[in-house]
Amino acid sequence: MLTKSSHSQGGKGVTDLKSALQNIFGETLLDSKDDFLQTFSSDGNYIRSIISSGEVLQHPLTNGHDGASTLSGKATSDLEVVRMVMDNPDAGSLYSRLVPLVLLLVDGSNPIDVTDSGWELYVLTQKKDLEHEDVQSRLLGFSAIYRFYHYPDSTRLRLGQILVLPPYQSKGHGRHLLEVIHNVAISEDVYDFTVEEPLDAFQHVRTCLDVQRLLGFEPIKEALNSTVLYLKQGRLSKKTHVPRFVPPSSAAEDVRRVLKINKTQLTQCWEILIYLSLDPIDKYVDDFEMIVSHRVKEEILGKDGGSGGKQVIEVPSEYKEDMSFVMFKTKDGKPSSVELDEDQTKQQEEQLKQLVDERLNVIKSVAQKVQLQV
C-alpha cells in the first residue's frame, strides 16, 4: 500500500500513504490482501469473544419513573449493549481497533486515554445466528462515557464519543444505545448525564428522546400547564414586557434528580415542550415566535437590547470580513456612546432573524418527530 514518494517521478505532493495510515490504524493496518481476507475467518468471533468479559446492560423496558420508559417502540431483542470499563485490558484492546473509525468518521474527534479507568465503553451489537455455528455478534456502534466524581458522594456521566457505523445509521440504533445509557444514569443514581460538544445530528436524537421523557414527567406537566395557560390569555404583542419563559428551578431540580437531564439540556427542550402544548399551534404561532425571538435577542445582545448591555460592532480587518467584529458590554447597563450606522443595524437585525429562524426550524423538526412517536 505504498504510493510514489514525494521525491520520485509522479508529481508534487504525493506522500508515503502507508506511513500516514499507520498513524491512524496502528498495528491493525494490513498491506497484504491475503492477510486482510484471512482476518474474516480468523477474527470472525472477535467481537463476541472480547465483549464476553463485559457487563450486559438491559434496555429500559421500564425503570419505575414516569416519563422514563422505553420510547423507541421497536423490537430490540436481537440488540445487546455491553459495558466495559477501561481498567479491563479487553476494553483497551477493542477500543484500539475502533480508534480509526473515530478519527475517520467523527469530525474533530480525538482518541480517549485507555489507561484512564474513568472511561467506560458501551458497545452496541446485534446477535446473528449462523447455521451450524454459534451466535456471532455484529458490531453496530459504541459510545465512550467518562465517569466524574461529584462532591460529596456521587458521580456524573459525560458522553465523550458516540458512533453508529454508517451501514446501520438511521435505523434507531443510536437511540437504542442512548436509552440504555440513560437507564444506567437513572439506575445508578448519578448526579446527571451530559454530552461533550454534541454534533447537530446527535443533538437532534438526544432532544427528541428527552422531550418525550419530559412530556410524561409530572413536575414538568404542572410547570408547562401554567406557562401555556399564560400564553393563551392574549397576544404578547400588546404587552409592554415580554417575559422570558424558563422552567421553574424546582422543576429543573426534579428533572435532574429523577431523569438526570441537566439544566442546559432542559432549557433546550423547554421551548419545544411549549410548542407541543400550544394546541392548535396556528392560533398561537405569532406569540410563540415572539418568545423565541425575544430569548435569542436577549442572549446575544443582553436584556437591554440595542441601547445597553452587549453590542456587536463590525471592524475592518485583513483576516476575514464576515468574521471581523467586536462585542462589548456597557458599564452598569448605561446606554452606549457607540452608535451603529444604518447598514450595521440592518445587518445585525438580519443576523438575529437568521438565528431565530434556525432555532424555529429545530423546534418544529423535533416536535414533528416526537408527535410521530407518541
Active site members? 196
Phi, then psi, of 101 in degrees rounded to 5: -65, -40
What number of other Cβ atoms are within 10 A of residue 275's Cβ?
22
Residue 123, classed as helix, strand or coil, is strand
Give the contacts of 241 (CB within 8 A, at least 6 positions apart).
none
Phi, then psi, of 329 in degrees rounded to 5: -130, 130
What number of other Cβ atoms are within 10 A of residue 216's Cβ?
16
Q: What is the spatial distance between Cα 357 and Cα 335, in angstroms, rounded to a whole number?
A: 28
Residue recorded with cell 412517536: 373
Residues 251/252/253/255 CA torsion (nearest 10 deg): 90
Q: What is the spatial distance between Cα 277 and Cα 282, in angstroms, rounded to a whole number?
A: 12
Give the contacts of 259 (CB within 8 A, at least 6 positions apart).
65, 67, 68, 182, 186, 210, 213, 214, 217
Three cell numbers at 122? 458501551
Phi, then psi, of 224 in degrees rounded to 5: -70, -40
Report strand pairing: 154-164 vs 193-195.
Answer: parallel
**Do the beta carbons of residue 165 and residue 140 sit within 8 Å?**
yes
* 55-57, strands of its sheet edge to edge: 55-57, 79-85, 119-128, 136-150, 154-164, 193-195
Beta bridge partners of 81: 57, 124
Give the contacts of 85 (CB within 8 A, at least 6 positions apart).
91, 117, 119, 120, 121
Nearest in space to 367 (alpha carbons), one of 296, 278, 290: 278
